[in-house]
């Protein structure tokens, strides 16, 4: 396992993963922004979970329900006792997003691969195009527990009115309202640019090293606590544009630093920037 973060069991190294590719009761899950990466080559034994088709309801803007989650777990041979290990592209954005969705259903045995796909490839570790098949299981999920780790727009508005702490994890240009999306992406998705009033801008990437791994616990505490005045006793909401980058910061705060009251606002700027009669700052 990884160095001693508060919940170090939630982070594994690429070396650990390489030694546990065939360990029983572990399921490796790849989740990417680019859905074609998995078919081009993936960690041996890994299954693919698509954030759009697998994790999201296909009719409503919401996540899959309890029954659909149970079916997804059964499909990939995951039991309630299986350790699910997530990795992916883009600095593990979507791996953390999938991890977060799993926690909406309270799956207790879950970890992120430190450095994700980038580090695995840089170390020239094995990739395969072979798609594994696992016997279906009977998985019993809890009802989705949104209230624990998810924030909705009305809750965010109330949070702003109470001067609660928020972290906008987007780029500086997005935070300032100069961009509606990340640099080099189509500038679309919301009518207005800017940020939620009172939010601190701490881009998600400040929590990582050049190789995609997370910074040390001391560096993370300096970033969030010394430089930006956050502490474990606060009620904190993270957001970005659609909730994937902010799930990365949610993971850092909740698991690496051990904060107990962090919620991810997955509606994020795509919703807030299009809402009628809500305040913004630039």
The pLDDT tens digits for 156-189 are 999 999 999 999 999 999 999 998 877 777 767 7
Residue-wise pLDDT tens digits, 23-45 = 999 999 999 999 899 999 999 99
> What is the dihedral sign for C-alpha 162, 168, 174, 180?
negative
Residue-wise pLDDT tens digits, 218-246 = 999 999 999 999 999 999 999 999 999 99
Residue 140: CB partners within 8 Å, gap ≥ 6?
70, 80
The domains located in the chain, with CATH, are 8-144 (3.40.250.10), 147-272 (3.40.250.10)
pLDDT bracket for residue 190 (50, 70, 90): confident
Tell me the chain's radius of gyration from C-alpha atoms: 18
Decide if pLDDT at 75 tops 60. Answer: yes
Whole-number pLDDT of residue 181: 76
For residues 234 and 24, what is the distance between their CA atoms, to the nearest angstrom?
A: 39
- Other C-beta atoms closer than 10 Å to the C-beta of 147 total 11
Which sequence positions are flagged as catalytic?
Answer: 240
Residue-wise pLDDT tens digits, 110-160 = 999 999 999 999 999 999 999 999 999 999 999 999 999 999 999 999 999
Token pair recorded at residue 50: 């698509």
pLDDT bracket for residue 1 (50, 70, 90): very low
Whole-number pLDDT of residue 268: 97
Q: What is the longest distance spanned by two Cα atoms in the chain?
A: 54
Q: Number of C-alpha atoms within 13 angstroms, CB side, residue 271?
A: 16
pTM summary value: 0.96
Token pair recorded at residue 59: 């009719």
Whole-number pLDDT of residue 33: 93
C-alpha separations of 61 from 58, 140, 185, 238, 242 in Å: 8, 24, 22, 19, 11
pLDDT bracket for residue 191 (50, 70, 90): confident
Q: Nearest-5° angle of CA 63, CA 66, CA 71?
A: 95
Phi, psi for 171 (deg, rounded to 5):
-65, 160
């Amino acid at each position: 396992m990884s160095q001693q973060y508060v919940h170090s069991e939630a982070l594994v190294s690429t070396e650990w993963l390489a030694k546990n590719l065939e360990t029983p009761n572990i399921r490796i899950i790849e989740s990417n922004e680019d859905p074609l990466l998995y078919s081009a080559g993936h960690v041996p034994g890994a299954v693919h979970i698509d954030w759009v088709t697998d994790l999201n309801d296909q009719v409503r803007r919401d996540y899959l329900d309890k029954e659909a989650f149970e079916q997804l777990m059964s499909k990939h041979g995951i039991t309630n006792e299986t350790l699910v290990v997530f990795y992916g592209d883009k600095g593990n954005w979507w791996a953390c997003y999938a991890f977060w969705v799993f926690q909406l259903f309270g799956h207790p045995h879950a970890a992120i691969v430190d450095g994700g796909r980038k580090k695995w490839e840089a170390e020239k570790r094995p990739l395969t195009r072979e798609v594994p098949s696992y016997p279906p299981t009977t998985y019993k999920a809890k009802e989705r527990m949104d209230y624990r780790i998810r924030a909705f727009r009305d809750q965010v508005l109330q949070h702003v009115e109470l001067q609660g702490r928020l972290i906008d994890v987007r780029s500086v240009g997005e935070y300032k309202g100069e961009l509606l999306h990340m640099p080099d992406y189509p500038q679309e998705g919301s009518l207005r640019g800017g940020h939620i009033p009172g939010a601190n801008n701490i881009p998600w990437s400040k929590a990582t090293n050049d190789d995609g791994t997370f910074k040390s616990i001391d560096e993370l505490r300096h970033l969030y606590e010394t430089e930006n005045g956050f502490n474990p006793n606060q009620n904190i909401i993270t957001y970005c544009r659609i909730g994937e980058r902010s799930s990365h910061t949610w993971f850092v705060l909740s698991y690496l630093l051990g904060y107990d009251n962090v919620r991810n606002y997955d509606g994020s700027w795509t919703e807030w920037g299009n809402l009628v009669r809500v305040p913004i700052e630039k």
